[in-house]
Amino acid sequence: MSRLGDQFALLRQRGEKALVCFVTAGDPSPEDTVSIVRALDHAGADVVEIGIPFSDPLADGPSIQAASQRALEAGMTTRKVLRIVREIREYCPKLPIVLMTYINPILHYGLAAWAADAADAGADAHIVTDLTPEESDDWVRISKASGLDTIFLLAPTSTPARIDAAAARSTGFIYCVSRTGVTGARQDVPVELTDVVSGIKGRSRLPICVGFGVSQTEHVRTICAFADGVVVGSALVDLVHAHADDPNLLLLVHNYALALKEATAPR
């Protein structure tokens, strides 16, 4: 079983839900990314997604777009992301690491070469945001050959056929987008989200983690009542950016993640 599989099995045994945290590689610096992920791990984050900065994002909202642009302007590349992953893995041997990216950087690198190098660096899975399940068979096959899980996005607008296609190809977990549109912190949890997750669960046995707009502990409590975990991205990226020069940055990250993780516990 993969690190992701092991983590979700352990969470089920404990009666807990998963906290998945997203950071942008290289923002504010490669060294800070390593330290931030270590702080998240120490705070109890169950999975960390590392976003690979890309110049033409489709699903990223303003916060993550800005973080990616800052990282790119500072010289971040796909190869440097792998160096960051390798260093994180040295400090966090059990933490599942998911790389979140778009298909173009992988195609440019080479599918098989990227999968092999990502696995060798210590990555456990990928979310390729603009790769649809129906067009993913080559990538899924290559990922499996390298021991990598593949996670697909599903949305409130996903048809039963799309859900089945994603469920058939996904491993690790399924990422349920809480609403249509791009990422970004929100103030509410859509009331129809319970039905969306229920519909996916009816067609897949994989864990379902909900993201896009999750930023507050109350969001986490609400979602964890019907889903297997939450993904917190833009709010964490904003926190890092707002305190990039603050000597207490890692403590702030740790305390934020700790509060979110505590909210995943059963009531």
pLDDT tens digit string along 160-207?
999 999 999 999 999 999 765 444 444 555 668 899 999 999 999 999
**What's the pLDDT score for residue 160?**
94
Say if 235 falls within a structural domain: yes
Q: Is the dihedral of CA 76, 77, 81, 82 positive or negative?
A: negative
Place of tokens 């986490």: 220
Among 16, 27, 41, 60, the active-site one is 60
**What's the pLDDT score for residue 190?**
60
pTM of the model as a whole: 0.94
Residues of the chain with pLDDT under 70: 57, 59, 179-191
Count, in order, helices (H) and strands (E) of the chain.
12, 9
- Give the domain CATH number at 248: 3.20.20.70
Q: Which residues pair with 22 in a beta bridge?
A: 49
Bin 139: left if φ > 0, else alpha if -120 < ψ < 50, else beta.
Answer: alpha
Please provide the average confidence, as pLDDT, over all residues in the chain: 92
Say if 55 falls within a structural domain: yes
Q: Is 60 a catalytic residue?
A: yes
Which tokens is 71 given? 């990282």
Q: Which residue range(s) make up the domain with 75?
A: 3-262
Total tally of structural domains belonging to the chain: 1
Among 16, 49, 149, 238, the active-site one is 49
Say if 204 falls within a structural domain: yes
Say if 267 falls within a structural domain: no
**What's the pLDDT score for residue 124?**
98
A 10 A CB-CB count for 84 gives 23
**What's the pLDDT score for residue 189?**
59
**What's the pLDDT score for residue 62?**
85
**What's the pLDDT score for residue 207?**
97
Mind giving me the DSSP string for 8-77?
HHHHHHHT--EEEEEEETTSS-HHHHHHHHHHHHHHT-SEEEEEPP-SS-SS--HHHHHHHHHHHHTT--
